[in-house]
Structure 1
Amino acid sequence: MSLNTYETIYVLKPDVTDSVNFSLVNYYKGLLKEKGANNIVVQHRGRRHLSYNIFHYYDGIYVQMNYQANGQLVKFLEKSMRLNDSIVRYLTIRQEIMQSVDVY
């Protein structure tokens, strides 16, 4: 089965502690590894103001994950995020890999 490249960004509630934040990052990174994802890169994007309030929150803590996986793993990951009370929003996009082209 071929692996696609995905980017998942999730937004945590602003009152989430650093320890909960890091434990979630480690949980999702471990989940991706366990289910067969490759090239997992996690970046903390920090606290940002939301364009509109979500559940009466005006700020959120953004975390970005880039990885290679199959579509079934993405479904599993998003279901896990949907059930997590600390996450207010998440979005996964499939990224197209650009072939490098030599231009002379």
Structure 2
Amino acid sequence: MKLNTYETIYILKPDINEENNLNLVNEYKNQIMSCGGKNIFIQHRGRRHLSYNINNYYDGIYIQMNYEGSSKIIQKLEKSMRLDINVMRYLTIKQDNIKEVIT
């Protein structure tokens, strides 16, 4: 089975403490691994100002995850994020494998 490459970016509420932040990141990483995902790369993008307020928040904590997996992972991950009160927004995109040719 061919695995696709995905990128998920989600925004956490700015008033979440560091321990809960790390717990959420690890929970989502474990969900990806339990569904057969691999090559998981997580970047904390930090606290950033939002272009518009979301639920009266003007800042958010951005987390980016890159990984390989099947579409089943996306369904499970996004359902979990939708139900989590600490996640304000999330977006998953499928990345096309772009190979650079060096001449």
TM-score (norm 2): 0.97
Match of 2:56 in 1: 56
Find the aligned partners of 1:102 and 1:8 in 2 and give their Cα distance: 29
Find the aligned partners of 1:27 and 1:92 in 2 and give their Cα distance: 17
Alpha-carbon RMSD across the aligned residues, in angstroms, is 0.7
List structure 1 segments (4+ residues) > 3 angstroms apart after TM superposition. Answer: none
Unaligned 5+ segments in structure 1 are none
- Give the letter for the 2:30 counterpart: G
Q: Following superposition of structure 1 onto structure 2, how do residues 15-34 of structure 1 map, counting pairs within 5 Å?
A: 15-34=15-34
Any idea what SS the aligned residue of 2:40 has? strand
Match of 1:79 in 2: 79
CA deviation after TM superposition for structure 1 residue 53, in Å: 0.3
Match of 1:37 in 2: 37
- Give the letter for the 1:24 counterpart: L
CA deviation after TM superposition for structure 1 residue 100, in Å: 2.9
Q: Percent identity?
A: 56
- Give the letter for the 1:87 counterpart: V
Q: How many residues align?
A: 103
Unaligned 5+ segments in structure 2 are none
